[in-house]
Amino acid sequence: MAIPRVLVLRAPGTNCDQETAFAFERAGGRAEVVHVNRLLDDPQIPCDFQVLCIPGGFSFGDDVAAGKILANLIRHHLGAVLAEFKAAGKLILGICNGFQVLIKSGLLLDDGNLGPPATLMWNDSGKYEDRWVRLLAEPEKCVFLRGIDGLELPVAHAEGKFVARDPAALARLQDQQQLCLRYAGSENGSPLSYPDNPNGSQADVAGVCDPSGRVFGMMPHPERHIDPTHHPQWTRRPPAESGDGLQIFRNAIAYFQ
């Protein structure tokens, strides 16, 4: 069986592309980092891949708003080809800045003329948050979260607060099992307080999938915990084969095998 191919899309300011490509390679895929300008020149490039990933970083310096410029390029110049990519049953993953791009481009959530039913805003702390967080997964729908209950991953963002357009939109996303990754605390209970919820996201949301479960955006960085030694307390933890984040990439590759 052919090895699934992964297109890791980068833009000026992206800084997690190589780590993300490496994670997909470790998971058994074949990854290629592609600059967005190549897609603008040849929009059919994604047709040769099974997975599209928009990694973290600061695309276009986060000028205007985090992920907004890359999102507009996708919406106005690559929307049709990526809609075909989705319709073909392929997978799309957005990590941190990539999550912001998926939200603002409409690739992840879209209510037609009303636009996305949710967005990502400035953290309640008013500053860049770089810390490890605990996460709870609801894997029933999302392909990337299959077999995962909990994770510990780092976050690194200034605009990661998930906010729905209105209570009805939030309830609809919840009912459709699209709010599939949430921040967790040392004790059960919601809503969480800072820093367990590092940005003030409504319903403690850390990741969202589309209705099909094949498009997934998340604020934490799974590519930064693919080896047990990546965890700051790895010498105090039980031995493990891999870091928590690697299973997300393995699930994407396994989907096509």
Q: CB of 59 within 8 A of CB of 182? A: no
The count of other CB atoms within 10 Å of the CB of residue 31 is 24
Indicate the pLDDT class of residue 87, thresholds 50, 70 and 90.
Answer: very high
> pLDDT tens across 89-126, in order?
999 999 999 999 999 999 999 877 777 899 999 999 99
- Residue among 129, 138, 159, 223 flagged as catalytic: 223
Distance CA 170, CA 112 (A): 16
Catalytic (active site) residue 35:
no
Per-residue pLDDT tens for 152-199?
999 999 999 999 999 999 999 999 999 999 999 876 666 799 999 999
pLDDT digit string, tens, across residues 227-252 = 999 999 999 999 999 999 999 999 99
Active-site residue identified among 96, 142, 180, 209: 96
In the predicted structure, residue 1 carries a pLDDT above the cut 90: no
CATH of 5-254 given 3.40.430.10, 3.90.1300.10, 3.40.47.10, 3.40.50.880? 3.40.50.880
The Cα 249–Cα 115 span in angstroms is 29
Catalytic residue among 221, 225, 230, 231: 221
DSSP letter assigned to residue 234:
G
Q: What is the per-residue pLDDT for 110?
A: 85
Tokens of 80: 């049709």
Concerning whether 96 is annotated as a catalytic residue, the answer is yes
Say if residue 32's pLDDT is above 70: yes
pLDDT of residue 189: 63
Torsion-angle region of 183 (φ positive above 0: left; ψ -120 to 50: alpha; else: beta): beta
Is 221 catalytic? The answer is yes
Could you tell me the pTM of the whole model? 0.96
Beta-sheet pairing, 181-184 with 205-209: antiparallel
